[in-house]
Amino acid sequence: MTNANAHLHSDLFKPVQLGAVQLQNRIVMAPLTRSRAKAGDVPTELAAEYYAQRAGAGLIIAEATQISPQGKGYAWTPGIYNESHVAGWKKITDAVHAKGGRIFLQLWHVGRISHPDLQPGNALPVAPSAIKPDGNAFTESGFKPFVEPRALEASELPAIVEQYKIAAQLSLQAGFDGVEIHAANGYLLDQFLRDKTNQRTDNYGGSIENRARLLLEVVEAVTSVIPSERVGIRLSPISPANDIADSNPKALFSYVVEQLNRYKLVYLHVVEGATGGPREVDGGFDLQVLRDLFKGIYIANNGYDLEMAVKARDRNLADLVAFGRPWIANPDLVERFKAGAALAEFNQATLYGGGAEGYTDYPPMQQS
Ligand code: 8OZ
């Protein structure tokens, strides 16, 4: 065996069990927002082609998908809250399964990372506290500055928890192998967790226990209606994405992970570092602490290449490794890794919105 093929020894390319399902390999397609849904937040047939092209992943985690109209924060993102969403997603899960792939859906509520243009009745986006994020929202008419959100009443939270529960049930009806609760990247659940965005004085703010309450209620609700071996979660403990921060992330996320163990979730998916940015972050901590605490499968993500992924397996630092951006222009990413082939670069201009261009037209390697 030549050194160039040394990576083929890695069990990255071997099947592994993930709760109820067997994966063909340990390489995951991370959730990627592509903003190509139709009116009514319905995913398209083009999305079925796009995901089927990527079915060589051990697991696809489909793009962040809003659990309610209020949970939407970007133009043209898909939903999972009614029958047309179930019908739309069913075509996608069928297409992926037909090619031997496995697919989870990422359940999303953006909280304050939205804009009245994207909200029902042009209402204000909601959040734990009325604190405006820095930055801009991606609306159908371009980028617009974020606004100061409306702080949720505690009495509104049970309905949001219920929406996660319904979305989980609808996801299984749509043929997904499971769901990932999106508690990362500065969206609603993360806004409750971290003290820069949560300044509430009720049972949902203040102490770590209180800030983790909404997330744990969501986990409890989701695992009460679908098997916990079909439920994963994503956290980004040290990421500043979407203008978020915490005064003691190690204590906060250690508590969260310890509590999550009560629900026997199938995996913990961690964005290691700044989302889409550096892996090392000021004020960060060693995220292996969380892996050690969690009694389930650990999916590592953020800035991995093949060499890092092989090392992560050799040193047992992760069970599965999720790649995001490399999947965009490399639909056959696993085959390219095996072959040691060069990776194609994606076109930034066709990342969000539009149709087939820059979405389903990236060729597999033999045609490149
Ligand atoms: C990039 C663009 C739009 C959404 C996330 C769902 O950060 C996202 C997202 C990323 O988790």
Residue-wise pLDDT for 5-32, tens only, equals 888 899 999 999 999 999 999 999 999 9
Give the integer Cα–Cα distance in Å for 235 and 239: 9
Q: Name the DSSP class of 326.
A: H
State in Å: Cα 7 to ligand 1 middle: 31
Report CA(177)–ligand 1 centroid distance (Å).
22
Question: Between 2 and 311, where is the model more confident?
Answer: 311
Taking residues 248-263, report their average pLDDT: 98
Q: How far is the CA of 32 from the centre of ligand 1 (A)?
A: 7
What per-residue confidence (pLDDT) applies to 366? 77
Structure tokens at 106: 């990422």
Sequence letter at residue 200 = R
Token code pair at residue 205: 């703010």
At residue 2, does pLDDT exceed 70?
no
Q: Which two tokens stand for residue 145?
A: 């500055």
Tell me the average pLDDT across 256-273: 98
> Does the pLDDT of residue 102 top 90, yes or no?
yes
User: Catalytic annotation on 298?
Assistant: no
User: What is the pLDDT at residue 1?
Assistant: 45
Task: Note the pLDDT tens digit of each residue in 232-241.
Answer: 999 999 999 9
Question: Residues for the chain: how many in total?
Answer: 368
- Name the DSSP letter for residue 151: E
Q: How confident is the model at residue 167 (pLDDT cuts 50, 70, 90)?
A: very high
Residue 63 near residue 106, CB atoms below 8 Å: yes
Question: Residue of the nearest CA to atom 6 in ligand 1?
Answer: 64
Residue closest via CA to ligand 1's atom 7 equals: 185
Cα separation of 309 and 32, whole Å? 19
Q: What is the pLDDT of residue 367?
A: 56
Q: What is the mean pLDDT of residues 99-113?
A: 99
Ligand 1 atom at shortest distance from the alpha carbon of 108: 6
pLDDT digits (tens, 9 = 90+) for 312-323: 999 999 999 999
Per the residue annotation, which of 81, 187, 204, 362 is the catalytic one?
Answer: 187
Rounded to two decimals, the pTM is: 0.98
Specify the CATH number for the domain of residue 235. 3.20.20.70
With a cut of 90, say whether residue 147 has pLDDT above it.
yes
Domain span at residue 228 reads 3-367
pLDDT digits (tens, 9 = 90+) for 116-145: 999 999 999 999 999 999 999 999 999 999
Mind giving me the DSSP string for 288-350? HHHHHH-SSEEEEESS--HHHHHHHHHTTS-SEEEE-THHHH-TTHHHHHHHTPPPPPP-GGG
Mean pLDDT of the residues in the chain = 97
Distance (Å, rounded) from C-alpha 144 to C-alpha 116?
Answer: 10
Interval 275-310: pLDDT, tens: 999 999 999 999 999 999 999 999 999 999 999 999
Domain count of the fold of the chain: 1
Q: Give the residues surrounding ligand 1 with Cβ less than 6 Å away.
A: 33, 64, 74, 185, 241, 275
Which atom of ligand 1 sits closest to the CA of residue 234? 11
Please, are residues 177 and 225 in contact by the beta-carbon 8 Å criterion?
no
Percent of the chain's residues with pLDDT above 70: 99
* pLDDT at position 358 over 50: yes
